[in-house]
Amino acid sequence: MRAAVLFDMDGVLIDSGAHHRDAWVAMLAEAGVTPPPDFWRITIGRPSEEAVELLLERRLPEGETRRLAQRKHEHYARLVRRGLRPIAGVRAFVEALARAEVPRAVGTSAARYDAERLLAELGLRRHFEVVVTADDVRCGKPDPEVYLRAAEALAVEPTACLVFEDSLVGVRAARAAGMRAIGVTSAHSEAELVEAGAERAIADFVGLPWPP
């Protein structure tokens, strides 16, 4: 059975956590909300519109949810102009997969525009045959749709896929899709990721062999 490797984007391919946290803080400040400690854990791996209501702890009219999610996006876009970095070792690992002709895809909760632009800016986009974004699915993580669509686009069985994820909802999405998962500890501890269903966790991709 042909194996494939699927990657989340933020926190797995791109070290973007600080920009996302600062963007949420700016949006919440505009809404008159002081976020609790570790508030950002709620947002990891989730579409922005879903995270808005979780952070505000109440249901909102659909238009208001979209407006606040868009404000967060605008703050993030402003912060990203300061520059982003790939997760350590990930470029070499992805290039090694490409040389070995291992099918590769990205499954992210980011919008299509952001995913395409950020991956291209870091020189990673050309290494992925498939990129599935929030614009391509009806249900966000922990629903498995994003990873099932990626496997289908690669013409690979879900059970032959290995997913790298930094979020608990992302690990659960991978496991719900019938895939293996390895956690990346850019947002959660190894214990948290393993409890969510990851078989183990790594800090980064430096020196990571294939198969891992």
List the CATH number of the domain containing 90.
3.40.50.1000
- State how many domains the chain has: 2
**Residue 208 belongs to some domain of the structure:** no
- Which CATH number is 55's domain given? 1.10.150
- Provide the residue range defining the domain that includes 119: 4-15+85-202
Q: Are residues 135 and 177 in the same domain?
A: yes
| pTM score, whole prediction | 0.78
- The per-residue pLDDT for 153 is 97
On whether both 50 and 109 belong to a single domain, the answer is: no
Contact 95, 127 (CB under 8 A): yes
Q: Which of 41, 65, 80 is the last residue of a domain?
A: 80
Q: What is the pLDDT of residue 208?
A: 95
Task: Note down pLDDT in tens along the chain; length 212 residues.
Answer: 679 999 999 999 998 777 888 899 999 999 998 887 778 778 877 888 888 988 888 888 888 999 999 999 899 888 888 778 899 999 999 999 999 999 999 999 999 998 999 999 899 999 999 999 999 999 999 999 999 999 999 999 999 999 999 999 999 999 999 999 999 998 899 999 999 999 999 999 999 999 88
Instruction: Tell me, yes or no, whether 119 lies in a domain.
Output: yes
* φ and ψ at residue 130, rounded to 5 degrees: -135, 135
Which pLDDT belongs to residue 1? 67
Which of 8, 10, 15, 166 is catalytic? The answer is 8
Does residue 211 lie within any of the structural domains?
Answer: no
Could you tell me if 180 and 93 lie in one domain?
A: yes
Q: Confirm whether 8 is a catalytic residue.
A: yes
Q: Give the per-residue pLDDT at 80.
A: 80
Decide which of 80, 115, 130 is a domain's last residue: 80
User: What is the β-pairing status of strands 104-107 and 130-132?
Assistant: parallel
**Where is the domain boundary, 57, 80, 103?**
80
210 belongs to a structural domain: no
Cis peptide before 211 (omega within 30 of 0): yes
Q: Are residues 90 and 191 in the same domain?
A: yes
